[in-house]
């Protein structure tokens, strides 16, 4: 919160700046004075907080007030030109700010080109999304990118132009509108840590323009890069060791955390902050409802640190948040911080990111699947999953990225697990090298310097379906499907928005064809980014097929989730099952309580009756999954990879 001192200065600055913006926007204000009043109201509400953050970030710059005024003018203009239907959405969302916390919210994610060739084709699949019950759709980055490798769209050359192979800006706005009219919110990436080396700013920098060189982190020699690198983690070590790329044209080093063609922006420069706010508000006005803030952890650099999760990274997002509340109040932020669980938590706040990926849950579900024991998962969920009111997790099993073994080392040690050895085991397990492993995955970004490795593969292949199908063994197939559905049941019920990476709903297997594509061969994440072959999907659709079974069980879980008010966001507690293979938790909300119990082993398990009796009054429990009744007078019998959603129903 702003102190009295900043409040006072904020007010004084605003009184000086406001009339100038009003003059600037004279014509717009004249024709829409009511809308201006709304803006002014929000501006006055958010400004003290924004001002404090900006003073902290940029107060030392001689041209601070110049930037501040330009920033507010751009924000005002963005609001005044915001389409009417989005303004209506703003009003609706402001009156129901908890709209995204309900159990009826279910998400999907897809690559437009791989799913439907282009944006025009996407429109043909809206019924498909609806039939599945999706209410949130993340389209992977679809903006202009370099033709060759572009990191699956994460190297953006122009935030205001759709990749011409996919469509146009007008089509994007139309898709957003159509989805919205069908009750589906559009989610897009804001790739704001870096631009591609083909972005106009990067080109200007490359041609020697010093104003644009100051948009990036560029160094004449190795002096500073070497100092930074002492503490940096290599994110893509197989692309290039270190985090800097030599640029032949400039004869200088450029900071490139990810691929060499992705240039990190310099948020220490207020001009960069301001330019990116304008790009963000532009995106907001195309109709996107949730912005996925890509690679949030990396946006601020500080010598002597690993340059991840710096306090200023949080401030920048908080400032984005304040500006979005002024010019596009319906907009929400989703944090993509794939870092230590405690650092992930720090981005989650109504005034920062209201949504966040839950990489710890994802990684530990896979961990428990490999070990058949959820004990690390239990500890971690108990210690590190609570988030503020008004915020929610986005829970997923697979996404377009790799799996990294993110858990807290001291949690592991507290139950006698050596964290390094355990990560090594998990990598062996999921690359199928560990004897008896059911998984088929590929290694991603092996770092010979420290042995780090991450995992690529689809949900189905990692859960054992690929091996089982190859072996033509119906029992193994059944086990693999049970694993898939149990994991799915957990993300549907543990609290937060479940996110389905489309293709998962049919159990798509790894696709090895990327290895022959020049632009993809070096990045194993493409193994889990298969093209949707609709002829094949049509074959799966037939009753009795494997794909059908996975689809139907997924769709049933979605329907069930939507009916159970206990599954509204929040109110999750890990329960002690006193059986090392059973993972149990309680969901209690809106006058309903569910006990959810999952068997992580391929053998039947029991849970003692006294565990259930704790959740009486009577002895009778009904399982929402099967409709069967269980009595707490006898031990609960749970089949291989079975899960139960129990509710006490005294007769």
Residues in touch with ligand GLC (CB under 6 A): 151-152, 154, 191, 235, 258, 294-295, 336, 338-339, 400-402, 404
Least spacing, CB of residue 504 vs ligand GLC, in Å: 17
Neighbours of 225 (CB within 10 A): 19
Would you give the DSSP letter of residue 153? G
Residue nearest to ligand GLC (CB): 154
Write out the DSSP string of 508-564: PPP-GGGGG-TTTTT-GGGGG-PPP-HHHHHHHTSTTSHHHHHHHHHHHHHHHHHH-
- Residue 295 or 376 having the CB closest to ligand GLC: 295
Choosing from 189, 336, 352, 511, the catalytic residue is 336
- Residue 182 or 343 having the CB closest to ligand GLC: 343
Choosing from 197, 198, 264, 294, the catalytic residue is 294
- Residue 366 or 583 having the CB closest to ligand GLC: 366
Q: Which of 587, 562, 565, 589 is nearest to 643 (CA)?
A: 587
Least spacing, CB of residue 228 vs ligand GLC, in Å: 17
- Residue 308 or 623 having the CB closest to ligand GLC: 308
CA distance 69 to 14: 9
Least spacing, CB of residue 74 vs ligand GLC, in Å: 25
CA distance 11 to 544: 68
What lies within 8 Å, CB to CB, of 32 at 6+ separation is 80
Least spacing, CB of residue 143 vs ligand GLC, in Å: 12
Residues in a beta bridge with 584: 575, 597
Catalytic, 294? Answer yes
- Residue 378 or 504 having the CB closest to ligand GLC: 504
Least spacing, CB of residue 461 vs ligand GLC, in Å: 18
Least spacing, CB of residue 202 vs ligand GLC, in Å: 15
567, 587 contact by CB (below 8 A): yes
277, 331 contact by CB (below 8 A): no
Write out the DSSP string of 178-246: HHHHTT-EEEEEE--SEEETTSHHHHHHHTT-HHHHTTB-EESSSHHHHHHHTTPPPSSTTT-SSSEEE
Least spacing, CB of residue 334 vs ligand GLC, in Å: 12
Tell me which residue has tokens 């020697």.
Answer: 208
Residues in a beta bridge with 102: none
CA distance 211 to 508: 48
- Residue 52 or 259 having the CB closest to ligand GLC: 259
Catalytic, 511? Answer no
Q: What is the 3-state secondary structure (H, E, C) of 366-385?
A: HHHHHHCCCHHHHHHHHHHC
Angle between helices 419-430 and 359-371 (to 10 degrees): 80
Q: Give, rounded to a whole angstrom, the gap between the first and last alpha carbons of the chain.
A: 52
* Mode of pairing for the β-strands spanning 582-589 and 592-599: antiparallel
- Residue 239 or 271 having the CB closest to ligand GLC: 239
List residues with catalytic annotation. 294, 336
């Amino acid at each position: 919160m702003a102190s009295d001192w900043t409040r006072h200065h904020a007010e004084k600055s605003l009184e000086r700046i406001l009339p100038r913006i009003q003059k600037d926007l004279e014509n717009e204000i004249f024709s829409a004075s009511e809308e201006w009043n709304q803006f002014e109201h929000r501006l006055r509400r958010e400004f003290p907080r924004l001002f404090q953050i900006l003073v902290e970030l940029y107060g030392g710059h001689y041209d601070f007030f110049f930037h501040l005024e330009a920033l507010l003018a751009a924000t005002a203009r963005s609001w005044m030109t915001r389409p009417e239907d989005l303004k209506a959405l703003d009003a609706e969302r402001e009156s129901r700010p908890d709209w995204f916390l309900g159990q009826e919210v279910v998400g999907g994610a897809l690559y437009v080109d791989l799913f439907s060739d282009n944006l025009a084709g996407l429109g043909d699949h809206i019924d498909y999304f609806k039939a599945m019950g999706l209410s949130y759709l993340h389209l992977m980055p679809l903006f202009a990118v370099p033709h060759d490798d572009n990191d699956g769209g994460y190297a953006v050359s122009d935030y205001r132009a759709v990749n011409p192979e996919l469509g146009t800006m007008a089509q994007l706005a139309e898709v957003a509108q159509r989805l919205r009219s069908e009750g589906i919110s559009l989610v897009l990436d804001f790739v704001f840590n870096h631009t591609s080396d083909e972005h106009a700013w990067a080109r200007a920098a490359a041609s020697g323009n010093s104003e644009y060189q100051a948009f990036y982190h560029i160094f004449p020699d190795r002096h500073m890069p070497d100092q930074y690198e002492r503490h940096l983690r290599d994110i893509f070590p197989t692309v290039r060791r270190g985090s800097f790329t030599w640029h032949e044209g400039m004869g200088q080093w450029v900071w490139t955390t990810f691929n060499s063609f992705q240039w990190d922006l310099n948020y220490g420069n207020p001009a960069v902050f301001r330019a990116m706010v304008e790009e963000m508000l532009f995106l907001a006005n195309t109709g996107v409802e949730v912005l996925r803030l890509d690679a949030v952890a990396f946006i601020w650099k500080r010598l002597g640190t690993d340059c991840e999760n710096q306090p200023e990274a949080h401030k920048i997002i908080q400032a984005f948040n304040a500006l979005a509340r002024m010019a596009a109040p319906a907009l929400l932020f989703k944090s993509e911080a794939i870092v230590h669980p405690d650092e992930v938590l720090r981005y989650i706040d109504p005034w920062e990111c209201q949504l966040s990926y839950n990489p710890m849950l994802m990684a530990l579900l896979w961990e428990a699947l490999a070990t058949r024991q959820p004990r690390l998962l239990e500890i971690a969920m108990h210690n590190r999953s609570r988030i503020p009111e008004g915020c929610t997790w986005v829970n997923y099993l697979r996404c377009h990225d790799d799996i990294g073994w993110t858990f807290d080392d001291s949690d592991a040690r507290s139950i006698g697990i050596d964290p390094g050895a355990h990560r090594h085991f998990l990598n062996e397990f999921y690359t199928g090298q560990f004897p008896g492993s059911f998984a088929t995955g590929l290694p991603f970004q092996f770092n010979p310097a420290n042995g780090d490795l991450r995992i690529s593969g689809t949900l189905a292949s990692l859960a054992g379906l690929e091996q089982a199908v190859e072996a033509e063994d119906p029992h193994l197939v059944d086990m693999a499907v049970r694993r898939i559905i149990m994991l799915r049941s957990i993300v549907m019920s543990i609290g937060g928005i479940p996110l389905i990476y489309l293709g998962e709903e049919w159990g798509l297997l790894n696709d090895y064809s990327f290895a022959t594509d020049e632009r993809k061969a070096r990045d194993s994440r493409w193994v889990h980014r298969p093209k949707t072959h609709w002829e094949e999907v049509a074959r799966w659709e037939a009753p009795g097929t494997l794909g059908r079974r996975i689809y139907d069980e997924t769709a049933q879980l979605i329907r069930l989730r939507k009916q159970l008010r206990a599954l509204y966001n929040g109110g999750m507690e890990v329960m002690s099952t006193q059986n090392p293979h059973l993972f149990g938790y309680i969901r209690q909300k809106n006058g309903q309580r569910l006990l959810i119990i999952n068997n992580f082993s391929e053998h039947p398990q029991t849970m003692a009756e006294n565990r259930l009796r704790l959740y009486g009054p009577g002895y009778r429990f009904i399982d929402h999954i099967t409709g069967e009744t269980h009595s707490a007078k006898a031990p609960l019998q749970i089949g291989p990879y079975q899960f139960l959603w129990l509710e006490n129903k005294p007769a």
